Structure 1
Amino acid sequence: MTDFRFDLRRGALITAVLALLSSVFLVLPASADTEPFDDCPQGQFCLYDGSGGTGTRLDVAEGGKDEDHPGTILSVQNNTRMWGCVYTADRYGGSLQTVKPGNDDEYVTDGVRWTVASYKLVPTRALCFTGYERCENGKACTFAERNGRGAMTVHVPAVDPATQNLGNSYGTEVAPKSVWNRTAKHLCFYLRPDYTGTWTEGTKTYGAYVVLRGDSITVPASLAGAFRSHELVNGTSECQ
């Protein structure tokens, strides 16, 4: 009988210890630290002013964009169905990072900050590499960078007294590197502000660079930033 009572007490002690351990294990997950980016809601592109999803959070819905973001962005979480496009310069210019749906990204590496100045959310990754969509139908738009990126100039042509063609003259502040002609006319670009100027490639000399109606183009490297005027014409033979 003595041995039996001893076994009962030992069994009760073991049961109590196991119960205590179980209660500890049940409490641990609730007290664990929140995982990075866990606070980002579904359907939102979350921008944080701290690395690793820390600091103040800004939520952006699908299709959102900002061509000139004034604040600091050091990390992002993309919980949308769209691609996040993040740029180092305003107007979708400079270097580019893309953020796949469901992924996060970090903009501090080894203590070096990657400046974020603009962003947009688009249906496909390919659309991160262009900015032509900013040009409205019926307008002629030039861009400071390739593929419609960078600062955009929307041209409102005036009538040239000599040719009666609609045209614009401008200086280095425009310096087109890409163009979208969304008008019903053709665009003739020139190297000089007075709708003149020629350049030679091989054995041929050219007086105008033509962008047909409806076309978007990246200007050849040899001419990028060189145009100083353009006209809108009905036929390419009207180029001066």
Structure 2
Amino acid sequence: MTIHRTHARRAALVSALLALLSAAFLVLPANAEPAPFDDCPANTLCLYSGTNGTGERRDFTEAQNTPAYDPAWDDKTLSAKNNTKQWACLYVDAGYGGLLQTIKPGAPDEYATGDARFVNTLSGHKLVPTRALCFTGYERCPDNRVCTFKEPNGRGPMTVHLPSADAATGNYGNSYGTEAAPKSVFNRTRKHVCFYPEPTFGGTWTDPADLKKYGAYVVLRGDSTTVPAPFAGTFRSHELVNGTAECQ
């Protein structure tokens, strides 16, 4: 009789264990959905066409700074995950221009709600060590060139000026139209650059604050600057000189 009771106890224990295991399996979801943005690889900035890390995904490594997206991706981003160790800077306009959003390392961001100015408007990005570098774009200027920018702080569309001898005046510089009139400048040459309000390397400005007249706006070799009034947006030509006294 004792043997029969032992077998009965064992059978009861086995039945109880099977019941517990069955209950545990029943509470597990059949197809667990991944957490938002979990598909973003390490060391990657992931942009999504849908909210909360959904829709089509486009990946950029830490080495890929993109001043403008191709037409297939321009103005398409609705959410993002910065899965890098750098700050991500996302821009509304090409050339790191216009309004911008910043994403700290490891963080996600959403653009479908909130400020309507960022809904389907993002057009470029860059990854930088510090957030402050999101607000400048001078690093795009090649060595030994004068670069002018349509926005302050080296942002917006950039024009790279190739030094050439002007046939009429012999000045070593460029003459250009109003489409290149800059609001900031980077002089990456080994000479100083003199900017003028006329396309023939001349003209003057009058400062409304003190009524003084200025014949040239100078940016020293290696310097970058946001151009102040009354000079901003008015440059039509420049020349490269060895000394500032050589400015017209």
TM-score (norm 1): 0.88
1:155 shift after superposition? 0.7
3-state SS in 1 of match to 2:68: coil
In structure 2, the gaps of 5 or more residues are none
Is 1:136 the counterpart of 2:142 in the alignment?
Answer: yes
The amino acid across from 1:21 in the alignment is A
> Is the CA contact 1:107–1:115 (under 8 Å) kept in the aligned structure 2?
no
What pairs with 1:88-237 in structure 2 (closer than 5 Å)? 88-109=92-113, 112=116, 113-161=119-167, 163-201=169-207, 202-237=210-245
Q: Match for residue 24 of structure 1?
A: 26
Q: Match for residue 40 of structure 1?
A: 40
Q: Match for residue 87 of structure 1?
A: 91
Q: Pick closer, same or farther for the CA change 1:151–1:41 going to 2, 3 Å.
A: same
Deviations 1:31-74 (A, max 9, x none): 33221101111111111111111111111111212222131211
1:237 shift after superposition? 0.5
3-state SS in 2 of match to 1:147: helix
Partners of 2:194 and 2:242 in 1: CA distance = 10
Deviations 1:134-189 (A, max 9, x none): 11111111111111111111111322356533111111110111100011111111
Partners of 1:190 and 1:49 in 2: CA distance = 46
> Is the CA contact 2:137–2:154 (under 8 Å) kept in the aligned structure 1?
yes
1:203 shift after superposition? 4.4
> Is the CA contact 2:206–2:230 (under 8 Å) kept in the aligned structure 1?
no
Deviations 1:80-128 (A, max 9, x none): 1111110001111111111111001112115941411111112221221
> Is the CA contact 2:94–2:123 (under 8 Å) kept in the aligned structure 1?
yes
Q: Pick closer, same or farther for the CA change 1:111–1:227 going to 2, 3 Å.
A: closer
Q: Match for residue 53 of structure 1?
A: 53
1:229 shift after superposition? 0.9
The count of corresponding residues between Structure 1 and Structure 2 is: 235
Q: Pick closer, same or farther for the CA change 1:111–1:130 going to 2, 3 Å.
A: closer
Identity of aligned residues (%): 56
In structure 1, the gaps of 5 or more residues are none
3-state SS in 2 of match to 1:98: strand
> Is the CA contact 2:145–2:163 (under 8 Å) kept in the aligned structure 1?
no
Partners of 1:60 and 1:161 in 2: CA distance = 46
> Is the CA contact 1:88–1:114 (under 8 Å) kept in the aligned structure 2?
no
3-state SS in 1 of match to 2:52: coil
Partners of 1:170 and 1:12 in 2: CA distance = 89
- Report the aligned-residue RMSD: 2.5
Partners of 1:183 and 1:145 in 2: CA distance = 21
